[in-house]
Amino acid sequence: MRALRFVPPLALMGLIWFLSSRSHIGTDLGWIDTVLRKGAHMTEYALLALLWTWALVRRPLPPPHADAVPGRRAVVVAAAIALTWAAVDERHQTTVPGRYGTPWDVAIDAAGVGVAVLLWRAWTLRRQRPGGPAT
């Protein structure tokens, strides 16, 4: 059932919202804590973009009728959803005591989304090559 494909990205969005509602998340390890948290930001938004792409993409027809770039629109929409959620999440954090939202964090999230777009593109190109993985 296609509707079930929306469960993972929506669940991750809920988890992000829940974690953003916590007044303090950190390990108190100084700069290591900062690196870990920013790395987590990039990773979670890369995963969110990939999950949305997976949920939205229409399966390409088998070769030789495969689209030149399967899922291009899905990638764009997924990236837009993830970036919008990043901005909403940062705005939400401004309402949580002990937290603050910054454009810098949205930029870090956007970098994660960019990584996801590149990974998806590399994967689709690999699948399109003759002798690439079967669909």
Residue 43 has a pLDDT of 95
d(CA 68, CA 124): 9
pTM: 0.81
In this structure, are residues 123 and 75 in contact, taking their beta carbons and an 8 Å threshold?
no
- Residue 107 inside a domain? The answer is yes
Check residues 16 and 57 and name the one with the higher pLDDT.
Answer: 16
Check residues 81 and 74 and name the one with the higher pLDDT.
Answer: 81
**Mean pLDDT rounded to a whole number for the chain:** 84
Residue 64 has a pLDDT of 52
Q: Which of 1-15, 53-67, 95-109 has the lowest mean pLDDT?
A: 53-67
- Residue 135 inside a domain? The answer is no
* Section 3-10 average pLDDT: 92
Q: What is the CA 60 to chain-centroid distance, rounded?
A: 22
- Residue 134 inside a domain? The answer is no
Number of domains, the chain:
1
In this structure, are residues 116 and 49 in contact, taking their beta carbons and an 8 Å threshold?
yes
CA dihedral of 76, 82, 83, 88, whole degrees rounded to 10: 150
